[in-house]
Structure 1
Amino acid sequence: MPSTSTASSAPPNIVIIYADDLGFGDLGCYGANGIPTPHLDKMAAEGVRFTNFYATAATCTPSRYSLLTGSYPWRNPRARILDGDAPIIIGPDELTLPGALKRAGYATSVVGKWHIGLGNGKIDWNGEIRPAPVDVGFDESFVMAATNDRVPSVFVKDRHVHNLAPDDPLEVVYGKENPFPEVPTGRSHPELLTLRHGDQQHFDTIVNGVPRIGFCRGGKAATWDDATMTDVFLERAKEFITRRQAGPFFLYLALHQPHVPRIPSARFKGASAKGARGDVIMELDWMVGEVLAHIEALGVAENTVVVFSSDNGPILLDGYQDRADELTGEHRPCGPLRGGKYSLFDGGTRVPTIVWAPGRVTPGESHALLSQLDFLASFSRLAGVPLAEAERADSLELTDAILGKTDRGRDSLVTEGIGSNTLVREANWVFIPPYPGGPFVTNKAVESGTAPEPQLYDLSADVGQRVNLAAAHPERVRAMGALLEAIRDRRSPVT
C-alpha cells in the first residue's frame, strides 16, 4: 500500500481526464500487451494504480452525471443515454464538483465530451444555449453537445455553437423520419459512406462520411473534423492550464476515445495492429502524456492532482463496421473481467483508474474499493470546502484512499447496467438480483449480466464472475438484497 509524501499546503490543482469506453484490460499497466500505452504506463508507475475503482454505470450519461454530482444516477430518472438535443439533467439546485471547488476560489473548465444535456428542452442552436455547463459550476466550457456518433457534430463554447455562420443556421431533429430530405443519410446514400453503420441506429445524417444518430442540416462552418478532435481538445486544455497556472484550477478533460466512430488523426492511423480502436487508444495515451508533460513544463506538477479514469467498460461492436472484433486478436479489453459496456458484470463498471500527484503520492497500487461518486466529497475536502450532509449526496469523503494513503475505501457500492438494473458490491461479494431479458445486449455482442435467478459472486476467488454461489449462500443473498433495497430507498447510510 503506497503512502504520500509531503505536499504543499495550498489547495491543489485538480485535473480529471475521463476516457470514453476504455476497458480494465486496455492499458499496458493493467496487463495489456496488444496496444502500446507508454504514457499511461508511465503515469501509473509514477502514481497510484487502482484495481477496484468503479464508474457508477455501464453507460456514459449516467456515469458522467454521477462524477459531477456525487449522486447515484438511478436517483435521477433522466440520467439515461441522451440524444444530442436532450435538456440538461443537472438540476439548478444540485451541487456539482466544479461548483463546490469554486467556493475555494478555483477556476473551473470542462473540455471535451459533455453528454449531460443542454438547454431546457428546446434548444436554439443559433442563439444562446442555456442552461449549459457554465450554469452548473464551470467558468468556461468547450464541449461536444453529446457524443461523436450523434448530431449535432459541432462544438459548443460556453453558451454558443463555436464557429457557426449566421447565414447557415443549424437545425437538429431526433425521430424516426428524416425531416431534411435533401440531406444525405446512411440509409438514402450509402455510396457516400467512408465508415458503414453496423446497426439500425447509426444510419441517419452523414457527417464527414460517417452516418450519425439523429438528423441535422446547416452549420457547415461549425462542423468538427473527427480526425483532428484530439488536437483541438488538447490545445484547449493546455491553454486553460497555462492561463490558470497560478491556481488553483479544476479541469475536467472528457475525451471522446475510444468511443465510436473511431477516427484517429493521420499520425496515429495504422499505428497499432488492432485497427481503428487500437489506433485511437494509442492517440488517447499520447494525449495524456502531452497533458502531464505540459503540467510539468509549467512547474506546477508538485501541486497538481491528476486522475485518469473511464466512464464505463469497453465495447468492440457499437454501431459501425470498423472490424474491431476481428482485429482485437489476443488483446482482452476487459482483462480478466466479464462483460463490458452496458453489462451488469464487472467489465461494465470496474475501470482503469490512475492518480498522479508527484507532490502528494508515492507510487504504488491500491485495492481500495472506490467509486467516481467519491470525487465530490473527497476533492472538496482536499480543497478545504466543507459540504453539508445533503450536498454530498451519495459521495463519501475518502481522500486518503484516493491519494493512496490507505486501502480502506468503501464498504459497499451500487452500480448500474443498461436501463435501471442495479447490483450491489459489499467487500468482495457481488449480488445481482433476478432481471428479465436475454443474456446478451441486443446488437452489441456483450453479456448483459441479467438472469432469471439471483447471482452471487465472490470476487476474491472468482474475478471473472463464472461461478454463481447464490444457491450455496441463501443468507448472504437475502442480506445483500436487503442492503441494495436499503441503499436505493435511502434507508441505509452510505458507507
Structure 2
Amino acid sequence: MKTHLQIIAIFLLTLSTSVAADKPNVVIIYGDDVGYADVGAYGSRLIPTPNIDKLASEGLMFTDGHCSAATCTPSRFSMLTGIHGFRHGVRVLAPNAPSKITPEMFTLPQLFKTAGYHTAVIGKWHLGIGDGKTPVDWNGDVKPGPLEVGFDYSFLLPSTNDRVPCVYVENHRVVNLDPKDPLYVGKKPDEVVCTEYPDGKENPEAMTYYRSSHGHNNSVINGIGRIGKQFGGKSALWNDETMADVFVEKTKAYLSSRKANEPFFLYFSSQDIHVPRAPHPRFKGKSKLSYRGDAMVQLDWATGEILKALDSQGLSENTIVIFSSDNGPVYDDGYEDGTTVRTSTKEVDRGHDASGPYRGGKYQIYEGGTRVPFIVKWPGHIQPGKSDAIVNQIDFTASFANLLGVTLEDDQAIDSRNILPALLGKSDKGHTYMVEEAGRKLALRQGSWKYVQGARKQSGKQNQSGELYNLDSDIGEQQDEAKENPALVKEMQALLDSLVETTSGVRNHNGDSPDEGNQ
C-alpha cells in the first residue's frame, strides 16, 4: 500500500510539474516614460543599466517594439484590454477620474485567470478608480479598481506620482490611514477637520524639493507640488524617495508566496522615470545626468531585484519576463529638476537623447513616442538575440490567449492580434500594419512606411493630406514624402479609416493580418 501511495504521489507531482511547465509564469516590468535609448542595450551611454542589459542579452530584444500610444493612460488601457484607447475616449486621467477599464471588459489579467493563473499588479495604476456615479470613498473600500477587472492582488500608486492622492492603496484600502485624519481628493466636506496642505500657487516657497515649471502646483506634499487637491491622510503619505523600495519589497513578498504548481501573472508597474523624479539618495549621482538619469538607474536596480527574486524562488526557468515602457521619453514635464537642455533641433538631457535616432517622444505621434525598449525572455523557449519584427503591447492578450489555448470571443480584445511567433522569436515577421496614437492624432505603420494622419475639420473630413515617411531611408522622419506619393497616402488613409471605423476592431478586420493561420 505504501509503495502504491508513493507511486501515486510521484505521478501527481510529475503531472503538476508538467501542467506548470505548460503554463509559464508571466512578469511584465513596465517603465514609465522610458525612452528607446534610455537603456544601455538600446544605445544609452550616460545611464548605466546593467540589469536590463543582461535581460536583453539573455532574451529577445526587439528594435521595432511599440506601446500603442504616446501617453500613459491610453497605452496602459490598450495593453490590459487589447482595445485602442481612442475607441473609449481614453486620455491622460485626472486624480479623481473613474476607472476607464470597467468590470464588463475582458482584460489581460482575466485571460490569465481563465487559464488558472493568480494575478497581481504592483505599482502605478493611473487607469482611474471608481464607477463615476458616486465619489470614491478613500476612507472605506476604494473600488471599483484592479480587483474588479481581473487582478487577485493589488498594491497601488492609485493615480501617478505627480498627482494626488499621495498614498498607497492595497487591495481596497488606503495603507496606514488614520481615521482621525480622513482623506479626501478634490474637495472635502466643510464640517470635516483634517490635514490641509500648502497650495503651490499661493505658497510657491513650500515647494522645497524643486519648483514646478508648469501645472504641478496644487497641493504641496513632501515639498513637491502635485496636480490636484488632497486633504487629510497625513499618516498614509508615501515617501517619494523610498517608493521604488516599497514596490520591490511588495514584489518580493508576492513572489515568495507563490505555490510551485500555481502559475501567476505579475504586472510590475514602476513609477520611474516619471516626474517628479525623486530617486533614493543612494542612487543620486549614479548616472552622468541629473534626477532623470539617476531615476533610470533606480529602475534598473528594481529590475535586477525582481530577476534575483525569481532566481531565489526557483521560478526563473518557467517565467516569461517582459520589459518595456508605456511611452517614449519626456524631459521637463512639470518640474524644474535640471533635466532639459535644448539643442537647435530637439530637447535632450544634458547630451543624452532618450529617443535615440527617432523623432519625438511622449505626447508626440512620431516614432519616438511609441517605439520603446521591448525585451522578452523565456529560458529554453526563446533564443537570445535581436528581432526587427514590428510588435506591439496591445497584442499581448491575443498572443497569450494563443499560447494558453484560450479562445477569445469576437467582442473581446478587438484590437489585439496574435503575434506569438514573433514574440517567441520563431518568426521575423510581426505586423504588416499597426495603428499608433498620440492625443487626438493617429498614425499608421505599414512596413517601412509611416503615415501621420492630417488635421481634420470639425465635420470629421480630412483637412490636409497628412505626412508620409519612409523609415528605411529616413529613420528620423525628417523628409515628408506625402506630396510625392499621393496614391500611397490615399491608400494608407483608407486603411487607417477602415481600422478606426470598424466596430469589430483590428483582430477581425478583413485587411492583411500577420496572424492569419496562427489562431
So what's the TM-score if we normalise by structure 2?
Answer: 0.88
Q: Quote the Cα distance in structure 2 between the aligned partners of 1:374 and 1:81.
A: 21
Residue 410, structure 1, aligned to residue 431, structure 2: yes
Task: Call closer, same or farther: CA 1:236–1:181 in 2, change over 3 Å.
Answer: closer
User: Contact conserved, 1:17 with 1:254, CA < 8 A, in 2?
Assistant: yes
Could you tell me which of 45, 56, 62 is aligned with 2:57?
Answer: 45
Could you tell me which of 433, 450, 454 is aligned with 1:430?
Answer: 450
Deviation for aligned residue 1:163: 1.2
Residue 268, structure 1, aligned to residue 286, structure 2: no
User: Contact conserved, 1:195 with 1:320, CA < 8 A, in 2?
Assistant: no
User: Contact conserved, 1:195 with 1:322, CA < 8 A, in 2?
Assistant: no
Residue 362, structure 1, aligned to residue 383, structure 2: yes
Q: Quote the Cα distance in structure 1 between the aligned partners of 2:101 and 2:280.
A: 33
User: Contact conserved, 2:214 with 2:335, CA < 8 A, in 1?
Assistant: no
* Amino acid of the structure 1 residue aligned with 2:475: V
The answer for the alignment partner of 1:338 in structure 2 is 359
Task: Call closer, same or farther: CA 1:151–1:8 in 2, change over 3 Å.
Answer: closer
The answer for the alignment partner of 1:99 in structure 2 is 110
SS at match of 1:278: helix
The answer for the alignment partner of 2:516 in structure 1 is none
Structure 2 residues not aligned, in runs of 5+: 1-18, 342-347, 458-462, 504-508, 514-519
The answer for the alignment partner of 1:217 in structure 2 is 231
Q: Quote the Cα distance in structure 2 between the aligned partners of 1:470 and 1:409.
A: 25
Deviation for aligned residue 1:182: 5.1
Residue 290, structure 1, aligned to residue 302, structure 2: no
* Amino acid of the structure 2 residue aligned with 1:350: R
Residue 84, structure 1, aligned to residue 95, structure 2: yes
Q: Quote the Cα distance in structure 1 between the aligned partners of 2:102 and 2:283.
A: 40
Residues 320-469 of structure 1 mapped to structure 2, 5 A cutoff:
320-326=335-341, 328-418=349-439, 420-435=440-455, 453-469=465-481
Residues 153-168 of structure 1 mapped to structure 2, 5 A cutoff:
153-168=166-181
Structure 1 residues not aligned, in runs of 5+: 1-6, 438-450
Q: Quote the Cα distance in structure 2 between the aligned partners of 1:358 and 1:112.
A: 26
Q: Quote the Cα distance in structure 1 between the aligned partners of 2:450 and 2:259.
A: 43
Could you tell me which of 141, 165, 171 is aligned with 1:152?
Answer: 165
User: Contact conserved, 1:114 with 1:146, CA < 8 A, in 2?
Assistant: yes
* Amino acid of the structure 2 residue aligned with 1:235: E
SS at match of 2:22: coil
Q: Quote the Cα distance in structure 1 between the aligned partners of 2:315 and 2:391.
A: 27
The answer for the alignment partner of 1:493 in structure 2 is 510
Deviation for aligned residue 1:388: 1.9
The answer for the alignment partner of 1:186 in structure 2 is 200
Q: Quote the Cα distance in structure 2 between the aligned partners of 1:105 and 1:372.
A: 22
Task: Call closer, same or farther: CA 1:162–1:181 in 2, change over 3 Å.
Answer: closer
Deviation for aligned residue 1:299: 1.4
Could you tell me which of 271, 276, 294 is aligned with 1:256?
Answer: 271
User: Contact conserved, 2:196 with 2:231, CA < 8 A, in 1?
Assistant: no
User: Contact conserved, 2:443 with 2:452, CA < 8 A, in 1?
Assistant: yes
Residue 126, structure 1, aligned to residue 139, structure 2: yes
* Amino acid of the structure 1 residue aligned with 2:445: R
Q: Quote the Cα distance in structure 2 between the aligned partners of 1:13 and 1:209.
A: 40
Deviation for aligned residue 1:436: 7.2
* Amino acid of the structure 2 residue aligned with 1:352: P
SS at match of 1:88: coil
Q: Quote the Cα distance in structure 2 between the aligned partners of 1:155 and 1:392.
A: 30
User: Contact conserved, 1:170 with 1:219, CA < 8 A, in 2?
Assistant: yes
Deviation for aligned residue 1:228: 0.4
The answer for the alignment partner of 1:241 in structure 2 is 255
Deviation for aligned residue 1:174: 7.2
Task: Call closer, same or farther: CA 1:436–1:302 in 2, change over 3 Å.
Answer: same
SS at match of 1:351: coil
The answer for the alignment partner of 2:4 in structure 1 is none
User: Contact conserved, 2:196 with 2:232, CA < 8 A, in 1?
Assistant: no
Residues 104-123 of structure 1 mapped to structure 2, 5 A cutoff:
104-121=115-132, 122-123=135-136
Q: Quote the Cα distance in structure 2 between the aligned partners of 1:488 and 1:343.
A: 19
SS at match of 2:230: strand
User: Contact conserved, 1:245 with 1:298, CA < 8 A, in 2?
Assistant: no
Could you tell me which of 476, 487, 495 is aligned with 1:483?
Answer: 495
SS at match of 1:61: helix
After superposition, the C-alpha distances for 1:168-217 in whole angstroms (9 at most, x for unaligned) are: 10011079xxx999531212222222233444410110110000000111
Deviation for aligned residue 1:493: 3.5
* Amino acid of the structure 2 residue aligned with 1:425: R
After superposition, the C-alpha distances for 1:364-390 in whole angstroms (9 at most, x for unaligned) are: 001111111110111122233222232
* Amino acid of the structure 1 residue aligned with 2:399: S
Task: Call closer, same or farther: CA 1:21–1:249 in 2, change over 3 Å.
Answer: same
Deviation for aligned residue 1:92: 2.1
Q: Percent identity?
A: 45
Deviation for aligned residue 1:452: 5.7
Q: Quote the Cα distance in structure 2 between the aligned partners of 1:453 and 1:168.
A: 57
Q: Quote the Cα distance in structure 2 between the aligned partners of 1:143 and 1:343.
A: 28
The answer for the alignment partner of 1:308 in structure 2 is 323
SS at match of 1:98: helix
Deviation for aligned residue 1:398: 1.3
User: Contact conserved, 2:147 with 2:171, CA < 8 A, in 1?
Assistant: yes
Deviation for aligned residue 1:293: 1.2
Q: Quote the Cα distance in structure 1 between the aligned partners of 2:328 and 2:187.
A: 27
Total equivalences in the alignment: 472
Q: Quote the Cα distance in structure 1 between the aligned partners of 2:197 and 2:23.
A: 51
After superposition, the C-alpha distances for 1:427-450 in whole angstroms (9 at most, x for unaligned) are: 11111122279xxxxxxxxxxxxx
Q: Quote the Cα distance in structure 2 between the aligned partners of 1:452 and 1:392.
A: 32
Q: Quote the Cα distance in structure 2 between the aligned partners of 1:10 and 1:454.
A: 47
Q: Quote the Cα distance in structure 2 between the aligned partners of 1:359 and 1:302.
A: 8
Task: Call closer, same or farther: CA 1:245–1:272 in 2, change over 3 Å.
Answer: farther
Could you tell me which of 279, 303, 312 is aligned with 2:294?
Answer: 279
The answer for the alignment partner of 2:152 in structure 1 is 139
- Across the aligned residues of Structure 1 and Structure 2, the Cα RMSD in angstroms comes to 2.1
Deviation for aligned residue 1:453: 4.9
User: Contact conserved, 1:84 with 1:152, CA < 8 A, in 2?
Assistant: yes
Task: Call closer, same or farther: CA 1:195–1:452 in 2, change over 3 Å.
Answer: farther
SS at match of 2:436: strand
User: Contact conserved, 2:20 with 2:263, CA < 8 A, in 1?
Assistant: no
Q: Quote the Cα distance in structure 2 between the aligned partners of 1:96 and 1:372.
A: 13
Q: Which has the larger radius of gyration?
A: 2
Q: Quote the Cα distance in structure 2 between the aligned partners of 1:493 and 1:314.
A: 34
The answer for the alignment partner of 1:440 in structure 2 is none
